[in-house]
Amino acid sequence: MSTDAISGTREQAPTQESVVGHGPRWYTRAPLHFVIVLISAIWLLPTITLLVTSVRGIQDISTSIWWTILWKPHEFTLTNYNTVLHAATSIGMGRAFLNSLAITIPATALPIVIGAGAAYGFAWLRFPFRNTIFLTLVGLQVIPLQMLLIPLLRLFNQWGIAGQYPSLWIAHTAFGLPLTIYIMRNFMSGIPFDLLEAARIDGANEWSIFTRVILPLSTPAIAAVAIFQFMWVWNDLLVALVFTAGSDNAPMPVVVRTLSGAYDQGWQLMTAAAFISMALPLIIFFALQRYFVAGLTAGSVKG
Amino acid sequence: MAQGQPAITPPTTSSVAVAPTTAAIQPKGRGIKPRSYIPVLCFLGPALALIAFFVVYPSIKTIYLSFYAQNGIGYNAPSTFTGWDNYTGLWSNDQIRTSIRNNILWLVLVTPVTVILGVLFAVLFDRVRYESIPKSIVFIPMAISATASGVIWRLMYADDPHTGTVNAILSHLPGFSPLSFLGDASFVNFALMGAQIWTGLGFAVVVLSAALKSIPADLTEAAKIDGANEIQIFSRITVPLMWPTITVIITLTMIGVLKIFDLVYTMTSGGPAGSSDVLALEMYVQSFGNANPGVGSAIAVVLLIAVIPIMAININRFRTEGQR
């Protein structure tokens, strides 16, 4: 199985054309090409609408549709971005972007560091009730986020950390762990036992087997888990809303939502803010497409 | 994991590639017998402690809270045991009944449309050489947060034909006039579902496409030689062999739809007049807006109970595949 889910091609099987010898000509396949181009156009249109609207002035947005910019390129402006980055809301998107980084980086690293050890334990260390505990963990993935919010908010209020970064680190780490462990354990248990035994014979203890054998070989799983956890936290609205709404530490989705909410400040700011919040994931998508798809697919069972 | 699901595979010592390992259960005797249980505790302790304290305990607390009514505002406000009142109250609350109705509408409409379009797109894209391009394009919305996606679709659906793409197109078509997609109670749910399908379909296409590629070409070739036509091959070979993956898409879509929140909250906040409200949004409003944690907890428990049977199908499949 190829990791390249997007461009993955069939390995065997010559194509239909080559079997027949003289395949269908391009014009008999024209309707197929047309439909595919149409689908692609429809799927691109919303994102293009957002991008173009975000670089037009408020006056232009309400008087002519966005594709007017094609023949009036002088409409292009970056004012919206400038406004929204600095002070369109109580906190600007600039601060919100930094908040998102400050929340997401630890909330991605922690479940991986903590989860990798647990995954190794479940995969290769023998101890009583190993499978029972592991299956319980798998079962915990059924729990919706909504089941945690009220008690966690009370707890964080008591500890005085509600509205601060650590409340989000804790919530995302704990909620991300069951799936992180599940994916990494399944991967690690596929590593050949011979490798572990050889290390063992060479005198390695559990810790050095983990750091020198298991971790280096688990890079693909770690990359996949890192990407889905990063995307989950970066794009999360609900947890951020409950723990940071109204505070200066709110990440981008909360601020975007505020801009589009009760205080409707106009399309030009809402669209620029939304595009800023999408930029990093889109860069990751285009730069690391294979890992991105593998990661999001692996993490899709998350609730 | 699903048949054909793009999987990350561990390295092997032999040159023969192994199937993605999904064995849910490790054979009893397999693994390193540690000299003591101290390393076991070091490796597993932190994770299990965090999960116990920040996942299991809050969940139990939420079930507990769902049987109490809070008198007053603030988490220190006194509360009284009210038995099943919070649950029976869900039915008598018009707004929550609307939410339940909407969630069911989402389930019965979004799930089949996602599966049918997913299979259709996967099969269409499979027939062209530049397949990776449309697949990437359809997958792009997966990189976009539901919040940003909500802004995108508010813009697409904007009432003003100078702003909203859909109404701009409608106003250029003869016989159509601009519609208020998000302001009209009879359209709003379908408009939201359209936005959700745009956002989530890429996942279904990529997974189903991988399943399609894992069907051995010999099978379809043999069927062709036996005189089967395209439709017969599709319905007798392609769909049955993709069925396990289709089940995954069905269950995952259902779970996602039951918990839909971000998109609805960003686009309509449940409006107009509560007509597009959903359970997850109502849970948020009751718990954190209306200071009704008892009712909010009861909704959370209802969501949990609704998800359990769907998730059970998935986990059961993981287990049976692991034993193969």
Query: Could you write out the three-class secondary structure of A117-134?
Result: HHHHHHHHECCCCHHHHH
Q: Which of B246, B279, B27 shows the shortest CA–CA distance to B118?
A: B246
Say which of B40, B128, B269 has its CB closest to residue A32.
B128
Mean pLDDT of chain B: 84
Are residues A168 and A248 both part of a single domain?
yes
For residues A34 and A144, membership in a common domain is answered with no
Number of domains in chain A: 2
B54 and chain A in contact, CB less than 8 A:
yes
What is the DSSP code (8-state) at residue A6? T
A263-277, B17-31, B121-135 — most confident range: B121-135
| Cβ separation B259–A144 shorter than 8 A | yes
Residue A210's CB is within 10 A of a number of other CB atoms, namely 25
- Final residue of a structural domain among A77, A99, A118: A77
pLDDT at A19 over 50: no
The predicted pLDDT at position B314 comes to: 73
- A78 confidence band (pLDDT: 50, 70, 90): confident
Q: Is the per-residue pLDDT at B24 higher than 60?
A: no
The shortest CB-CB distance from B155 to any of A39, A49, A139 is to A49
Whether A3 is covered by a domain: the verdict is no
Within chain B, where are the H helices?
38-51, 57-65, 85-92, 94-126, 132-139, 146-156, 165-172, 188-213, 217-225, 230-233, 239-258, 262-267, 279-284, 293-323
Predicted confidence (pLDDT) at residue A251 exceeds the cutoff of 60: yes
Q: Are residues A68 and A101 in the same domain?
A: no
> Does B284 contact A at CB distance below 8 Å?
yes
> Quick check: is A67 in a domain?
yes
Inter-chain touch B203–A297, beta carbons under 8 Å: yes
Residues B123, B305: Cα–Cα separation, whole Å: 35
Q: Which of A72, A100, A147 to mutate to test the interface with B (most CBs of B within 10 A)?
A: A147
Identity (one letter) of the amino acid at A203? G
Q: Give the list of residues 6+ apart from residue B28 with CB closer than 8 angstroms, or none.
A: A131
- Chain A residues whose CB is inside 8 A of the B40 CB are 121, 125, 127
Instruction: Name the residue of chain B whose CA is nearest to A148's CA.
Output: B58
Confidence of residue B21 (pLDDT cuts 50, 70, 90): very low
Query: How large a percentage of chain B has pLDDT more than 70?
Result: 86
Yes or no, beta carbons of B151 and A271 under 8 Å apart? yes
Among candidates B163, B301, B307 on the partner chain, residue whose Cβ is nearest the Cβ of A267: B163
Chain B environment of A277 (Cβ under 8 Å): 145, 147-148
Out of B11, B128, B203, the one facing A36 most closely (by C-beta) is: B128
Q: Which of A55, A77, A99 is the last residue of a domain?
A: A77
Q: Predicted ipTM?
A: 0.86
Q: Does B305 touch chain A (CB under 8 A)?
A: no
Say yes or no for a CB contact (<8 Å) between A44 and B137.
yes
pLDDT of residue B64: 93
> What is the per-residue pLDDT across B108-132, written as a single tens digit (0 to 9) for each?
999 999 999 999 999 999 988 898 8
Task: Give how far A257 is from chain B: nearest CA, Å.
Answer: 6
Position B38 scores a pLDDT of 84
Q: Which of B7-11, B161-165, B248-252, B300-304 has the highest mean pLDDT?
A: B300-304
Q: Are residues A43 and A152 in the same domain?
A: no
Q: Quick one: pLDDT at residue B2?
A: 39
Flag the least confident range among A68-72, A116-120, B230-234. A68-72
From chain B residues 192-251, the ones with a CB under 8 A of any chain A CB are 198, 203, 206-207, 209-210, 213-214, 216-218, 221
User: Do both A245 and A142 map to the same domain?
Assistant: yes
pLDDT at site B23: 44
Widest CA span of chain A, in angstroms?
76
B3 or B304: whose pLDDT is higher?
Answer: B304
Residue A9 in domain? no
Domain of residue A187, residue span? 87-301
Give residues 108 to 167 of B whose Cβ lies within 8 Å of A: 121, 124-125, 127-128, 131-148, 150-156, 158, 160-163, 165
Residue B174 has pLDDT above 50, yes or no: yes
| Shared-domain flag, residues A65 and A206 | no
Q: Which residue of A has its CA nearest to B213?
A: A10
Judge: A174–B210 Cβ closer than 8 Å, yes or no: no
Better-predicted residue by pLDDT, A288 or A302: A288
Phi, psi dihedrals of residue A26, rounded to the nearest 5°: -60, -35
Which residue, of A77, A104, A129, is where some domain finishes?
A77
Beta bridge partners of B32: A125
Q: In sequence order, which residues have a C-beta less than 8 Å from that of residue A23 and are 6 or more positions away?
A: A15, A16, A17
Same domain? For A72 and A95 the reply is: no
Burial class (CB in 10 A: 0-12, 13-18, 19+), A297: buried
Q: Which tokens go with A141?
A: 């993935």
For chains A and B, count residue pairs whose Cβ atoms are closer than 8 Å.
Answer: 382
Helix axes B188-213, B146-156, angle to 10 degrees: 120
Averaged pLDDT, B164-178 = 88
B51–A177 C-beta distance less than 8 A:
yes
pLDDT band at B138 (very low <50, low <70, confident <90, very high): very high
Kindly determine whether residue B10 and residue A242, on different chains, have CB atoms separated by under 8 Å: no
What is the band of A30 on the pLDDT scale with cuts at 50, 70, 90?
confident
Nearest CA of chain B to the CA of A48: how many Å? 9
Work out the minimum CA distance from B238 to partner chain A, whole angstroms: 15
pLDDT at residue B317 greater than cutoff 80: no
pLDDT band at B230 (very low <50, low <70, confident <90, very high): confident
Beta carbons of B211 and B118 less than 8 angstroms apart: no
pLDDT of residue B178: 85
Q: Where are the beta strands (DSSP E) in A98-245?
A: none
Tell me, yes or no, whether A220 and A287 share the same domain: yes
pLDDT digits (tens, 9 = 90+) for A180-231: 999 899 889 888 888 888 888 888 888 888 998 899 999 888 988 898 899 9
The CATH number that applies at residue A293 is 1.10.3720.10
Chain A residue numbers touching B297 (CB-CB < 8 A): 150
B314–A301: do the CB atoms touch at under 8 Å? yes
Instruction: Collect all residues of chain A within an 8 Å Cβ-Cβ radius of residue B58.
Output: 147-148, 150-152, 155
- Residues near A216 by Cβ (< 8 Å), separated by ≥ 6? none
Domain identity same for A41 and A141: no
Q: Which of B141, B148, B216 lies nearest to residue A277, judging by beta carbons?
A: B148
Tell me whether residue A210 is in a domain. Answer: yes
Average pLDDT, stretch B231-256?
89
State the average pLDDT over residues A160-177: 93
> Could you tell me which of B10, B78, B92 has the C-alpha nearest to residue B291?
B78
Q: Which of A23-32, A97-106, B203-212 has the highest mean pLDDT?
A: A97-106
Confidence bin at B27 (pLDDT 50/70/90): low
Among A220-229, A245-254, A289-298, B86-95, the range scoring the smallest mean pLDDT is A289-298
Q: Do B132 and A6 touch (CB under 8 A)?
A: yes
Q: Do A150 and B6 touch (CB under 8 A)?
A: no
**Residues of A whose CB is below 8 A from B57:** 151
Output the DSSP codes for B76-121: TS-EEE-TTHHHHHHHH-HHHHHHHHHHHHHHHHHHHHHHHHHHHH
Does the pLDDT value for residue B250 go beyond 70? yes
pLDDT of residue A26: 63
Nearest-CA distance A164 → chain B (Å)? 17
Let me know if residue A10 belongs to a domain: no
pLDDT band at B8 (very low <50, low <70, confident <90, very high): low
Contact A282 B51 (CB under 8 A): no
Do A150 and A50 sit in the same domain of this protein? no
CB contact under 8 A, A285 and B140: yes
Judge if A149 and A268 occupy the same domain: yes
Question: Most B CBs within 10 Å: which of A2, A3, A4, A6, as the mutation test of the B interface?
Answer: A6
Residue numbers in B near A293 (CB within 8 A): 6, 139, 206
> Among A260-269, B35-44, B105-114, B120-129, which is the least confidently predicted range?
A260-269
Query: Is 80 exceeded by the pLDDT of residue B191?
Result: yes
Among the partner residues B56, B140, B161, nearest to A47 by beta-carbon distance: B140
Q: Identify which of A167, A64, A225, A299 has the alpha carbon closest to the alpha carbon of residue B203.
A: A299
Q: What is the pLDDT of residue B20?
A: 37
Give the helix/strand (H/E) hosting B70.
Answer: strand B68-70
Q: Give yes or no for residue B98 having a pLDDT over 50.
A: yes
Q: How confident is the model at residue B190 (pLDDT cuts 50, 70, 90)?
A: very high
Decide if A167 is inside a domain. Answer: yes
Listed residue (B114, B184, B198, B193) closest to A50, CA to CA: B198
Residues A57 and A138 in one domain: no
The predicted pLDDT at position B135 comes to: 92
**What pLDDT band is residue A290 in, cutting at 50, 70 and 90?**
confident
Which fold is adopted by the domain B62-69+77-323? MetI-like fold (1.10.3720)
